């Protein structure tokens, strides 16, 4: 069925053909379903280079970025999907990594651990959208955890969020090299030793948080091993090795 926000096929119109003031008002609408609908329109706009370019050049792009602060997890997740979809095109990749967007995202990430994890998750989703996006995000580095993020010993939730991000990160092309070059791999080794010692001490103190950190560090190394082995097998098959 055709609606006011759709074309003849029933799909949402590209952002360049829809009133931007209407969409901007929808993003700030108190009803969650309205906000989700507007973000769906933006995600459909990102299906083409022209639509992505129009959205990236409009005030709707920074408005969507700000909605990573959403109390609604569903809306925040839709923001992530829409922004990552735009990264399939050069205009979307350039917009995500321009100085204004990166500064806004880093400022949002400082709000709390939940929003910080959303920013990291967006960077991972964008890296998975296109090989060039992954290369740019790793080369830039500003949307990914810094080695110092693992030093948040007084904030275990932040530590766990960073560890979860790094575990998801290893599957992206070029991620293992990035972890080594950024110093994250060396910091993870230090954290493994510290977490193991803390976990042993926590046996008597009954501190489940330290045990969780230790388990997450081990899980990260397991993911690295699986990823490296899978890529080695893939290369072997490409040259005719038998597994």
d(CA 178, CA 66): 28
pLDDT at 180: 84
Q: CA torsion, points 235, 236, 240, 241, in degrees to nearest 10? A: 180
pLDDT, tens digit only, all 243 positions of the chain: 333 444 555 544 455 444 788 899 999 999 999 999 999 999 999 999 999 999 999 999 999 999 999 999 999 999 999 999 999 999 999 999 999 999 999 999 888 888 988 998 899 889 888 888 888 888 888 888 877 777 765 677 777 888 888 888 887 777 878 888 888 888 888 888 877 777 677 565 556 777 787 888 888 888 888 887 887 777 766 656 554
Tens of pLDDT, residue by residue over 129-188, are 888 888 888 888 888 887 777 776 567 777 788 888 888 888 777 787 888 888 888 888
Spell out the domain ranges in the chain: 1-144, 145-243
**Can you say how many angstroms the Cα of residue 188 is from the centroid of all Cα atoms in its chain?**
20
d(CA 207, CA 209): 6
d(CA 241, CA 87): 35
If one looks up domain 1-144 in CATH, what number appears? 1.25.10.50
pLDDT at 2: 38
pLDDT at 205: 58
Here the tokens at position 44 are 């459909």
Whether residue 60 contacts residue 52, with contact meaning beta carbons closer than 8 Å, is answered with: no
Question: Helical H runs in the chain?
Answer: 20-27, 32-45, 49-56, 60-66, 73-86, 90-96, 99-109, 113-129, 131-140, 156-169, 175-182, 184-205, 208-238
Q: CA torsion, points 26, 4, 10, 81, in degrees to nearest 10? A: -10
Q: How far is CA 48 from CA 78, 128, 183, in A?
A: 18, 17, 37
């Amino acid at each position: 069925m055709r609606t006011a926000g759709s074309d003849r096929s029933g799909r949402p119109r590209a952002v360049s053909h829809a009133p931007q003031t209407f969409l901007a008002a929808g993003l700030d609408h108190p009803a969650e379903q309205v906000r989700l609908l507007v973000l769906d329109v933006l995600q459909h706009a990102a299906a083409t280079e022209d639509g992505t370019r129009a959205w990236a050049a409009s005030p709707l792009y920074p408005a969507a970025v700000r909605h990573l602060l959403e109390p609604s997890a569903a809306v925040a997740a839709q923001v992530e999907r829409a922004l990552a979809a735009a990264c399939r095109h050069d205009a979307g990749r350039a917009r995500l990594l321009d100085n204004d967007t990166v500064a806004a995202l880093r400022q949002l990430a400082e709000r709390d651990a939940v929003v910080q994890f959303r920013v990291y998750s967006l960077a991972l989703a964008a890296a998975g959208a296109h090989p060039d996006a992954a290369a740019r995000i790793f080369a830039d580095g500003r949307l990914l955890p810094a080695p110092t993020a693992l030093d948040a010993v007084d904030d275990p939730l932040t530590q766990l969020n960073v560890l979860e991000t790094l575990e998801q990160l290893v599957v992206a092309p070029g991620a293992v090299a990035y972890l080594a070059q950024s110093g994250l791999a060396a910091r993870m080794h230090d954290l493994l030793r510290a977490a193991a010692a803390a976990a042993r001490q926590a046996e008597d103190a009954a501190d489940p948080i330290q045990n969780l950190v230790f388990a997450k560090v081990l899980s990260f190394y397991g993911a690295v091993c699986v990823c490296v082995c899978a890529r080695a097998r893939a290369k072997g098959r490409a040259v005719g090795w038998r597994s």
